[in-house]
């Protein structure tokens, strides 16, 4: 890796740019950002200050990664994705077009988020979590490992998860589901498509 001002792409002050990184036109890179080897950033995207972006990853066009974000190796972000500040993700993150991940989100390896989804702030996701298209989670959502939200393997959409909800390991949540606030969903539970779960309910 080498230090590079990268003036043509709007890099301010010093950033650490890895070997074979490809930076598109009209990209902005904040000061003290670290960009790994083989990283591609498409046209019109912005990378905030003090970010750490791993190797062999891709950010689509017109996306925004705010400051103090950690994306580990193999991340793939679509077009018009927004990731807010102070968030951290394990290896292999995948985020579909036009999805928004709020600040202070933490996730293990293999988080996959569909298109047009919204993950609320102060949320925590385990390893190998799949979030479908147009899914909404609110603040303080906790999701265990191996969870599928709003996905049946082919199409996935329209799931809303209320704030303060905790979802255990190995849970499967179908499509068109609305989960209220402060719900507790136990390990291995299956929430069928079309379900409505009231505030404070415990699902086993």
Residues 103, 3 share a domain: no
Q: Pairing state of beta strands 100-101 and 58-59?
A: unpaired
Res 132: pLDDT: 81
Residues 62, 156 share a domain: no
Res 3: pLDDT: 38
Given a contact cutoff of 8 angstroms between Cβ atoms, the answer to whether 101 and 87 are in contact is: yes
What is the DSSP secondary-structure string of 43-62? TT-EE-TT-EE-SS-EE-TT
Residues 126, 89 share a domain: no
Res 1: pLDDT: 38
Residues 176, 106 share a domain: yes
Distance CA 145, CA 128 (A): 6
Q: What is the model's pTM?
A: 0.84
Domain boundary among the residues 51, 78, 95 is at 95
Res 156: pLDDT: 46
Domain boundary among the residues 95, 128, 147 is at 95
CA atoms within 13 A on the CB side of 31: 2
Domain boundary among the residues 95, 112, 129 is at 95
Residues 109, 66 share a domain: no
Residues 116, 36 share a domain: no
Contacts of 30 (CB under 8 A, 6+ apart): 12, 15, 46, 47, 48, 49, 50, 51, 67
Distance CA 16, CA 6 (A): 10
Per-residue pLDDT tens listing for the chain (204 residues): 343 444 444 555 678 888 899 999 999 999 899 999 999 999 999 999 999 999 999 999 999 999 999 999 999 999 999 999 999 999 999 999 999 999 999 999 999 998 999 999 999 998 999 888 888 888 888 888 888 887 554 444 578 888 888 888 888 888 788 888 899 999 999 888 889 999 999 998
Residues 80, 173 share a domain: no
Residues 87, 138 share a domain: no
Residues 107, 7 share a domain: no
Residues 148, 80 share a domain: no
CATH number at residue 195: 2.160.10.10
Residues 74, 32 share a domain: yes
Number of domains in the chain: 2
Res 151: pLDDT: 57
**What is the domain extent for residue 161?**
99-204
Write out the H or E segment, with its range, that includes residue 160. strand 157-161
Retrieve residue 53's tokens: 């972006």
Residues 82, 7 share a domain: yes
């Amino acid at each position: 890796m080498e230090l590079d001002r990268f003036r043509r792409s709007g890099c301010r002050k010093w950033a650490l740019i890895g070997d074979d990184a490809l930076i598109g036109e009209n990209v902005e890179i904040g000061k003290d950002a670290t960009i790994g080897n083989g990283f591609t950033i498409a046209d019109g995207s912005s990378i905030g200050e003090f970010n750490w972006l791993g190797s062999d990853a891709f950010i689509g066009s017109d996306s925004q990664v705010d400051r103090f974000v950690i994306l580990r190796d193999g991340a793939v972000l679509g077009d018009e994705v927004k990731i807010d500040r102070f968030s951290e993700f394990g290896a292999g993150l995948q985020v579909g077009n036009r999805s928004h991940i709020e600040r202070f989100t933490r996730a293990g390896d293999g988080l996959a988020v569909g298109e047009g989804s919204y993950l609320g702030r102060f949320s925590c996701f385990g390893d190998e979590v799949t979030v479908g298209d147009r899914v909404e989670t609110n603040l303080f959502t906790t999701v265990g490992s191996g969870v599928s939200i709003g996905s049946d393997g082919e199409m996935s959409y329209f799931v809303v998860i209320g704030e303060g909800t905790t979802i255990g390991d190995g849970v499967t949540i179908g499509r068109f589901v609305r989960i209220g606030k402060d719900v507790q969903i136990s390990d291995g539970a299956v929430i069928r498509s079309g379900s409505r779960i009231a505030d404070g309910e415990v699902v086993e």
